[in-house]
């Protein structure tokens, strides 16, 4: 049997009965209908299954549409990518934060005992007409604006929890673990290899040498000065962040009143500056035009969504979360999303695929330097333009002044 067939056999034999028990449906006959596995990623396989409950009379009483996520059966990848932590974090999120919240997929079951017994089961939101944005990058404005509204709601929820339920909040905060931004790991090697790539291009076109010198110094230690700096909690604006707020983790549904957005995949949830979420989406998936010409509209939509959530929850201690304070924090840490883009945008633009990311992780000494040139002059020019954009929008003032 193939890896996928083995996993389906295990899910049906061991996990489906647990779902049945959770729902108190032990007296029903259960029919499992598996859909073709299309969502296969290097850190997860996603299986869709419909559970149909049939009563003693042979009548269908209910059908549940589920998505089951498991890690692929590759021990080295599971260990190197700290996949167990990703699943633990997501289970913590669904059990302690998203429970009974209509803005998130319904959670049914989660376990992360070891690689062979790790799974998360939730409702299949595709059956609710939610879909991914069809574009991988430069995604249309309507998706950007509805995404930031949703993350604004998510951040507001975190601020309220932090103040109203401090003990629970601290327990959650101390339970989640970092999976990627760890000093000395291979991700740091990659960032150190690629971060100054835009400066190399700017020197090539004879751009401001003083600026290039300062950026070489700043970006040369980007893992510490940008990434770790952004995820270091600075009060009072530190909040629970999605941590991987990208197009692939946001689903959309067209309605008569507009577009709904729903977040998934909380394995990289972290306590940090809210700007890591916003900057990641805008630089990795947003267009340069939207960042430059519509930034105020986008940020206002984000902030207004926060205020709306505060108002609904009768949360009045909002002085610290003013528009000006939030923008100031964003500009101070916007380079976080820029570095993530330098890392992953070549994948989205088709110059390499995610399998290469595995290769870089597992064989970093031989291949990490090649990531600096992926996409050639095209990507180097795009990244250089982004860096100049950061300068022109005041997002590097703390470095240049």
Same domain, 293 and 317: yes
pLDDT on residue 39: 54
Nearest residue to 119 via CA among 86, 79, 96: 86
The domain that holds 243 is classified in CATH as 3.90.1200
Same domain, 111 and 152: no
pLDDT on residue 343: 93
Same domain, 221 and 79: no
Report how far residue 196's alpha carbon sits from residue 120's, in angstroms, rounded to the nearest whole number: 38
pLDDT on residue 383: 98
Nearest residue to 391 via CA among 241, 175, 218, 227: 218
Q: Mutual orientation of helices 166-175 and 141-164 as an angle, nearest 10°?
A: 120
Same domain, 96 and 121: yes
Same domain, 222 and 332: yes
Number of folded domains in the chain?
Answer: 2
Same domain, 262 and 374: yes
Out of 95, 128, 161, pick the residue that ends a domain. 128
Same domain, 67 and 135: no
Q: Which domain holds residue 62?
A: 3-128
Report how far residue 257's alpha carbon sits from residue 146's, in angstroms, rounded to the nearest whole number: 12
The domain that holds 117 is classified in CATH as 3.30.200.20
Out of 128, 148, 164, pick the residue that ends a domain. 128
pLDDT on residue 363: 46
What does the pLDDT profile of the chain (401 residues) look like in tens digits?
A: 788 888 899 999 999 999 999 999 888 999 999 986 665 556 788 999 999 999 888 887 899 999 999 988 777 777 777 889 999 999 999 999 998 899 999 999 999 988 889 999 999 999 999 999 999 999 999 999 999 999 999 999 999 999 999 999 999 999 999 988 988 887 898 899 999 999 999 999 999 999 999 999 999 999 999 999 999 999 999 999 999 999 999 999 998 888 999 999 999 999 999 999 999 999 999 999 999 999 999 999 999 999 999 999 999 999 999 999 999 999 999 999 999 999 999 999 998 765 544 444 544 544 666 788 999 999 999 999 999 999 999 999 999 99
Same domain, 117 and 137: no
Report how far residue 131's alpha carbon sits from residue 205's, in angstroms, rounded to the nearest whole number: 42
Out of 87, 105, 128, pick the residue that ends a domain. 128
> Does the predicted TM-score (pTM) go above 0.75?
yes
- Give every CB contact of residue 269 below 8 A, 6+ residues apart in sequence: 89, 90, 92, 93, 176, 240, 241, 242, 243
Same domain, 293 and 196: yes
First to last CA, the chain: 62
Same domain, 88 and 138: no
pLDDT on residue 2: 82
Same domain, 221 and 253: yes
What is the number of alpha carbons within 13 Å of residue 269 lying toward its C-beta? 27
36 φ/ψ sector (left φ>0, alpha ψ -120 to 50, else beta): beta
Same domain, 21 and 59: yes
- 123 touches 65 (CB < 8 A): yes
């Amino acid at each position: 049997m193939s890896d996928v067939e083995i996993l389906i056999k295990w899910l049906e034999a061991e996990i489906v009965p647990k779902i049945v028990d959770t729902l108190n449906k032990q007296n029903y006959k259960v029919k499992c209908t598996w859909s073709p596995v299309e969502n296969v990623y290097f850190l997860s396989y996603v299986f869709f299954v419909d559970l149909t409950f049939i009563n003693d009379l042979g009548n269908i009483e209910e059908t549940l549409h589920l998505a089951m996520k498991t890690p692929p059966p590759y021990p080295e990848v599971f260990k190197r990518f700290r996949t167990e932590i990703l699943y633990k974090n997501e289970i913590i999120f669904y059990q302690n934060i998203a429970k009974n919240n209509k803005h998130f997929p319904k959670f049914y079951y989660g376990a992360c005992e070891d690689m062979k017994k790790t799974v998360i089961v939730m409702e299949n939101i595709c059956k609710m007409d939610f879909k991914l944005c069809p574009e991988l990058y430069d995604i249309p404005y309507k998706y950007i604006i509805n995404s930031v509204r949703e993350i604004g709601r998510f951040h507001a929820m975190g601020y309220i929890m932090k103040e109203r339920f401090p003990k629970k909040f601290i327990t959650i905060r101390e339970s989640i673990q970092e999976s990627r931004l760890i000093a000395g790991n291979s991700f740091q090697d990659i960032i150190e290899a690629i971060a100054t790539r835009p400066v190399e291009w700017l020197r090539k076109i004879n751009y401001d040498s003083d600026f290039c010198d300062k950026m070489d110094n700043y970006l040369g230690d980007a893992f510490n000065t940008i990434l770790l700096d952004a995820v270091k909690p600075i009060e009072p604006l530190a909040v629970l962040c999605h941590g991987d707020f990208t197009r692939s983790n946001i689903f959309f549904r067209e309605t008569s009143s507009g577009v709904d957005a729903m977040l998934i995949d909380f394995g990289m949830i972290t306590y940090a500056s809210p700007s890591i979420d916003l900057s990641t989406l805008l630089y990795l998936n947003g267009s340069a035009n939207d960042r430059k010409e519509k930034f105020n509209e986008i940020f206002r939509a984000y902030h207004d969504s926060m205020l709306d959530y505060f108002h609904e929850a009768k949360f009045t201690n909002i002085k610290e979360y003013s528009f000006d304070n939030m923008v100031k924090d964003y500009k101070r840490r916007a380079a976080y999303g820029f570095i993530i883009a330098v890392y992953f945008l070549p994948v989205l633009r088709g110059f390499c695929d995610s399998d290469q990311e595995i290769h870089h992780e597992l064989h970093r000494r031989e291949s990490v330097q090649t990531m600096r040139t992926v996409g050639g002059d095209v990507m180097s020019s795009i990244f250089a333009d982004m860096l100049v954009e950061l300068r022109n929008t005041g997002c590097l003032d703390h470095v240049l002044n």
